[in-house]
Amino acid sequence: MSALADAHAPPETLADHVRDQTGEDVFHCYQCGKCAAGCPLAAEMDYSPQQVLRLLQLGLPEVERELLGSLAIWLCLTCEQCVTRCPQQVDLPKIMDDLRRRSRERGLVHPRARDILKFHESFLSTVQRNGRLHEVSLIAQYKLRSGHLLQDVLVAPLLLLRGKLGILPEKIAGHDAVKRIFERAASGHEGAETHRHDGAGAEGQP
Ligand code: SF4
Ligand code: SF4
């Protein structure tokens, strides 16, 4: 393609980015609303699952920024109810996952989603360290990261007494394989970060 043609090429939209990263084409959605009708979190979301797709279809930078700063993308549970209902097999949880990643990269995480993000980070950290989830480590890390030191503090002793929580983590046989997955994910993320810093930087603070 010539430089002149490049200069006239439309800028990449968030929908393009989603398609490149997930293989999902948001234009397959014809706004029937079945996903929103079945979503267990739709009533709590600032944009319903159906609206999230419509906003992506618009391809307007300001609308995309609003979407990346929405609470809806962080409330999605990845339950896949919407996928099973969708006549077009649009994989919304996959799209939501990519929007969360993009939201974080651009520093647009919704203020009410910051604890959710801290929970995600704590969860992944304990899986990376032990090869599997260790609940006590998860709780401790989440409390330190979020600052909610006293939240549910009376519940933990009961769970420990009933043997529902293991004090020490158990290592799994495939721990090295799990570590390699994290290393590969981190190197991919660094590549994306380098690419991003060649272009636009973060727009806000998560
Ligand atoms: S169910 Fe599928 S086609 Fe219907 S609005 Fe939701 S994503 Fe779009
Ligand atoms: S996967 Fe997310 S968007 Fe889809 S129904 Fe579940 S919570 Fe709602």
Query: Both tokens of residue 75?
Result: 């409330």
Residues 25 and 58 in one domain: yes
DSSP per position, 96-114: HHHHHHHHHHTT---GGGH
Instruction: Tell me the C-alpha distance between 174 and 128, whole Å.
Output: 11
Residues 68 and 122 in one domain: no
Domain count for the chain:
2
Q: Which of 108, 139, 167 is the last residue of a domain?
A: 108
For residue 54, the enclosing domain spans 10-108
Give tens-digit pLDDT for 83-128: 999 999 999 999 999 999 999 999 999 999 999 999 989 999 989 8
The predicted pLDDT at position 73 comes to 97
- The domain that holds 21 is classified in CATH as 1.10.1060.10
Task: Say if residues 71 and 113 touch (Cβ distance below 8 Å).
Answer: yes
Q: Which of 108, 138, 170 is the last residue of a domain?
A: 108
Q: Which residues line ligand 1 (CB under 6 A)?
A: 29-35, 50, 53, 85-88, 90, 92
- Cα of 58 vs centre of ligand 2, distance in Å, is 21
In this structure, is residue 71 part of a structural domain? yes
pTM value > 0.95:
no
Q: Whose CA is nearest to atom 4 of ligand 2?
A: 82
Residues 124 and 103 in one domain: no
Q: Which of 102, 105, 104 is nearest to 19 (CA)?
A: 102
- pLDDT(5) > 60: no
